[in-house]
Amino acid sequence: MATEWTGPLEQIDSCRYLLPRSYKPGMRVDGLIYADSRLLPSIKADRALDQVANVAFLPGIQTASLAMPDIHWGYGFCIGGVAATDPEADGVISPGGVGYDINCGVRLVRTTLLLKDVQPRIPELTQALFSHIPCGVGRTGRIKFDTAQQRHLLTEGAAYLVQRGFGVPADLEHTESHGCLADADPHCLTPRAQQRGQGQCGTLGAGNHFIEIQTVDEIYDSRAAEVFGLALGQITVMIHSGSRGLGYQVCDDSVRSMAKAPEKYGIDLPDRQLVCAPVNSPEGRRYLAAMAAAANYAWANRQMLMHLVRQTFAQFLSQPWQRFDLNLIYDVTHNIAKFETYEVAGQKKMLCVHRKGATRSFGPGHPELPADYRTIGQPVIIPGDMGRNSYLLVGQKTAELQTFGSTCHGAGRLMSRGAAIRSARGRDIRRELAAKGITALARSRHGLDEEQPSAYKDVNLVVDIVHNAGLSKKVCRFRPLGVIKG
The mean pLDDT of 376-394, rounded to a whole number, is 97
Active site residue 409: yes
Mean pLDDT, residues 251-279? 97
Whole-structure pTM value: 0.97
CA distances from 304 to 160, 352, 360 (A): 11, 29, 23
Question: Average pLDDT, stretch 432-453?
Answer: 92
Return d(Cα 90, Cα 100) in angstroms, integer. Answer: 24
For residue 5, is it within any domain? no
In a domain, 181, yes or no: yes
Average pLDDT over residues 306-315: 98
Q: Please state the rounded mean pLDDT for residues 261-282.
A: 97
Is residue 363 within 8 Å of residue 398, measured between CB atoms? Answer: yes
> Is the per-residue pLDDT at 472 higher than 90?
yes
Note the pLDDT of residue 182.
95
Residue 117 lies in a domain: yes
According to DSSP H, which parts of 56-138 are helical?
Answer: 115-118, 122-132
Distances from the Cα of 440 to the Cα of 110, 307, 349, 432, 447, angstroms: 20, 21, 46, 10, 10
Please report, for the chain, how many H helices and E strands are present, in that order: 17, 19
CA distance to 330, 407, 416, 452, per residue, from 486 (Å)? 23, 27, 17, 13
Separation of alpha carbons 93 and 481, rounded Å: 40
Torsion of the alpha carbons at 280, 284, 288 and 290, rounded to the nearest 10: 140
Determine the average pLDDT of the residues in 426-446.
92
pLDDT at 276: 98
pLDDT of 447 reads: 85
Question: Of the residues 174, 178, 209, 409, which is catalytic?
Answer: 409
- Average pLDDT on 375-380 reads 98
Task: Report helix, strand or coil for 313.
Answer: helix
Burial 397-418 (b: 16+ CB within 10 A, else e): bbbbebbbbbbbbbbbbbbeee
Is 177 part of a structural domain of the chain?
yes
| Confidence at residue 142, expressed as pLDDT on a 0 to 100 scale | 87
- Residues 184-195 have pLDDT tens digits of 999 999 999 999
Region 100-129 average pLDDT? 97
Per residue in 96-106, pLDDT (tens digit) is 999 999 999 99
Chain mean pLDDT for the chain: 96
Answer whether residue 230 shows pLDDT above 80: yes
What band does 136 get if pLDDT is binned at 50, 70 and 90? confident
The CATH number of the domain where 450 resides is what?
3.90.1860.10
For residue 230, which of 47, 474, 59, 486 has the smallest C-alpha distance?
474
pLDDT of res. 2: 52
478, part of any domain: yes
What is the domain range of residue 407? 10-485
Say what the pLDDT of residue 446 is.
83
How many folded domains does the chain comprise?
1
From CA 74, how far away is CA 165, in angstroms rounded?
Answer: 38
pLDDT value at position 139? 76
What gap in Å lies between CA 435 and CA 70, rounded to an integer?
A: 27
pLDDT digits (tens, 9 = 90+) for 59-88: 999 999 999 999 999 999 999 999 999 999
Q: How far apart are CA 213 and CA 484, in angstroms?
A: 9
The DSSP-derived string for 79-97 is EEEEEEE-GGGT-EE-GGG
Binning the chain into helix, strand and coil, the percentages to the nearest 5 are 40, 25, 35
Q: What are phi and psi of 445, to 5 degrees?
A: -60, -40
User: Could you tell me if residue 367 is inside a domain?
Assistant: yes
Residue 1: its pLDDT value, please? 44
pLDDT band at 328 (very low <50, low <70, confident <90, very high): very high
CA–CA distance, 42 with 2 (Å, rounded to integer): 11
Model confidence over 26-56: pLDDT tens digits? 999 999 999 999 999 999 998 999 999 999 9
Q: How many CB atoms lie within 10 A of CB 114?
A: 15
Please count the other Cβ atoms lying within 10 Å of the Cβ belonging to residue 147: 10
Query: Please, are residues 470 and 396 in contact by the beta-carbon 8 Å criterion?
Result: yes
CB 162 within 8 A of CB 169: yes
Is 4 among the domain residues?
no
> Is residue 248 in some structural domain?
yes
Q: Helix, strand, or coil here: 409?
A: coil
The answer, yes or no, to whether residue 309 has pLDDT greater than 50, is yes
Between strands 439-441 and 472-485, the pairing is parallel
Dist CA 466 CA 39 (whole Å): 12
What is the rounded CA–CA span in Å between residue 295 and residue 393?
23
Classify residue 120 as exposed, middle or buried by CB count within 10 Å of its CB (0-12, 13-18, 19+).
exposed
